[in-house]
Amino acid sequence: MFKKILIANRGEIACRVITTARRMGIATVAVYSEADKDARHVELADEAVLLGPAPSRESYLVADKIIAACKATGAQALHPGYGFLSENEAFAKRCEDEGIVFIGPKHYSIAAMGDKIASKKLANEARVSTIPGWNDAIDTPEQAVEIARGIGYPVMIKASAGGGGKGLRVAHNDKEAFDGFSACRNEARNSFGDDRVFIEKFVVEPRHIEIQVLGDAHGNVVYLGERECSIQRRHQKVIEEAPSPFISDATRLAMGEQAVALAKAVRYQSAGTVEFVVGKDQDFYFLEMNTRLQVEHPVTECITGLDLVEQMIRVAAGEPLSFAQAEVKREGWAIECRINAEDPFRSFLPSTGRLVRFRAPQATLQQGSVTLSGPAYAGEGYGGVRVDTGVAEGGEIPMFYDSMIAKLIVHGRTRAEAIARMRAALNAFVIRGISSNIPFQAALLAHPKFVSGDFNTGFIAEHYGKGFKAEDVPHDDPLFLVALAAFVRRKARERAAGISGQLPGHEVAHKNELVVVQLGAQGQHLFHPVELSDFDAQAGTLEVRVAGRVYAIRSHTPLGDILMTGECNGQPFSAQIERSASRQPLALKVAHNGTQITALVLLPRAAELFRLMPHKAPPDTSKFLLSPMPGLLVDVAVQPGQKVLAGEKLAVIEAMKMENILVAQQDGVVKEVRAQRGESLAVDQAILAFE
């Protein structure tokens, strides 16, 4: 077994590998860019080596620097994680030539299966069912349009070296094929250093289901069940689960055997994933093979009890698999939500900056441990919550890398139990300083189609095609949030009443009749009269009556703590409550199950007066192009005095490895360019002014 390994990656996956290596008694070496000098993976590792500047092409993608770090620290092996150089055939071969063990498949397997064009040709030769398409690299956008017409729209345009949603577009017409080809090439060149692009038929209403395989150097290959990855937004996975609620045991067996046969054909060693698109009749077609560890590997670990990182390390050290196919377990149901630094209410634009608050829900499952045993699985405590992250409170989310903050994983006896556990865990996940997609995740988990398992890869586009709005988050009892606001306000008045030195005759008085004013847009507020009774500060209890409903709340959460836990009518809850700094200094923001309200809790007379207050309209910004996110301004496509039409490209912003094209919302004339190419933009910074 190795004594020391280097992790050629960053963030969550680097921390994940370090955890398992530490449990195995293996020393670890982290590498980092200048932007990551204070990152969590650097702190966790036994040693750390600086690679270079923040851009990945000058740090994490520079093979020479990583090899040099291995030699300087005496690392015998290297784990590439996912992304960056994990599926780079030349890098894997270079490691082998330099006497460094690559903890992943051999270079010839990566060459055969890691390249999407080569893998599809190989699958065809092996008589594996594949989707119709053009399997050779395409040179020009005009050629891409011609090929797309021949295949028939819709088509999927893919970068050969792509992954994680980068370098991938779906085109429904000639214009989308032309523009999508150019965008795919640019993203692939910037992210992977390989701009080859190919096209295939896009299967309507498909399921994305993948099979986890594991092979060793002794010819043994097993499959560890499937993962359902159909909940995707712009081809990037949002929620993953294992097993799939869709396929039958017969389909599972057939897909597993085909995945194993494919892996054996390329002498696959290590963990890998064979991806399939599955039709509504359970016919399946090979898509590609990811010759690395997947982001969503924890759900497989939960239901099998295996540590996939440990298995990769043991295989790389030459050990045979310690179990056969018949011994692979499948117990319970696991779901993973990717918690990303993006604003779901602003078209999911990236959100970078400092994590002012970061408190993950309490984890009862630990990564890198046997997850089907231990106290979390005893009696009523079966299953639990796991958090995989590479950040900590006070840390920075930089614009140079992926937007993922953490992975939240739950395991339960059934799918319904896992969904309920995930909703509770999302309620308890506190993130401040940047925006996150937690409200969107909560909405997805509550959607009837998701709950019933009736969905495909077009689910998000179908139900949230016009964007995601606050009203898209259903809540089974919205008055519960009103009751929580009243509870917190009553508790605050109790504390205020105890302050000494109050002016006689003007002391803070307790009132059992209040009005919760739920603030709405354009001054459309909702007024909720509430009655309070049975307040007991020591017991932390209060009964709130609103609209004929009674909420008996018990909570000992201190005032000022964002995360509030307790019981309501005997049922446990977690909610997030804090002062609203933006709209009203005395207002409370209350969030639960993805729904958030901003409310003022007033005495009845004060509520009457507030009702008479005029609405202050926000400033008119219609004559400006504002940056919707922090990022790098890579192009300004217009000049002062130029006439622009609605839909015309105005500027391009790069953030978190993705190009974001800003277009004109209406016809107009450019008056002034206020930001220059190469400038780092803040959110809502003016780029252009119009006449």
Task: Give catalytic residues, as residue numbers.
Answer: 288
Provide the H-helix boundaries in 514-659.
Answer: 604-611
Q: How far apart are CA 629 and CA 433, in angstroms?
A: 14
Closest Cα to residue 89, out of 68, 116, 69? 116
Query: Do the beta carbons of residue 113 and residue 119 sit within 8 Å?
Result: yes
DSSP 293: -
Closest Cα to residue 120, out of 105, 135, 109, 110? 135
Pairing relation of β-strands 588-592 and 595-602?
antiparallel
Provide the H-helix boundaries in 528-636.
Answer: 604-611
Q: How far apart are CA 207 and CA 456, in angstroms?
A: 5
Q: Which strand (E) or helix (H) includes residue 19?
A: helix 11-23
Residue 348 structure tokens: 């999911």
Backbone angles phi, psi at 258, to 5 degrees: -70, -40
Q: How far apart are CA 446 and CA 574, in angstroms?
A: 16
Close Cβ partners of 136 (under 8 Å, ≥ 6 residues apart): 117, 198
The CA-based diameter of the chain, rounded to the nearest angstrom, is: 91
Scanning the structure block, which residue is given the tokens 């779906």? 170
Q: Which strand (E) or helix (H) includes residue 408?
A: strand 404-412
Provide the H-helix boundaries in 230-307.
Answer: 249-265, 297-304
